[in-house]
Amino acid sequence: MDKWGVESYLFIKTIKTMKQLRKPNCPYHGNKEDVVRIIYGFPMPELMDRAERGEVKLGGCCVTDNNPEWYCKKCKKDIHEVLIAG
Ligand SMILES: [Zn+2]
């Protein structure tokens, strides 16, 4: 798989994961109103529109095991799944 192939794969994987995951409450202010999904990988034009509307946050192309899944626009903090589980 070339570089673009890998990024498209990650993008598609993220979109599929989005549909499966329930949005968590923000652990800092207690509800999920301002919580958005963080999308990693190459942003498609449609995705950039969604980011501009504040529906998602773009996390860049550097994906590691420790990347947060969610972002709170109100608290301006990344939310890790482990924080919510605990
Ligand atoms: Zn918050």
pLDDT at 31: 92
Q: What is the pLDDT of residue 84?
A: 45
Q: What is the pLDDT of residue 83?
A: 47
pLDDT value of residue 18: 56
C-alpha angle 29-31-36 in degrees, rounded to nearest 5 = 100
Q: What sign for the dihedral angle of Cα 44, 49, 50, 52?
A: positive
Per residue of the chain (86 residues), what is the pLDDT tens digit?
Answer: 566 666 666 676 666 655 556 788 999 999 999 999 898 887 788 888 999 999 999 888 777 777 888 999 999 999 886 544 44
pLDDT the model gives residue 1: 57
Do the beta carbons of residue 80 and residue 73 sit within 8 Å? no
**Residue 74 Cα to ligand 1 middle (Å):** 5
- The H or E element that residue 78 is part of is strand 77-79
Which residues sit with Cβ closer than 5 angstroms to ligand 1, an ion? 26, 28-29, 72, 74-75
pTM here? 0.64
Dihedral sign, CA of 55, 10, 62, 29?
positive
Q: Where are the domains of the chain?
A: 3-85
Cα of 8 from ligand 1 centre, angstroms: 30
Q: Do residues 34 and 86 touch, judged by C-beta distance below 8 A? A: no
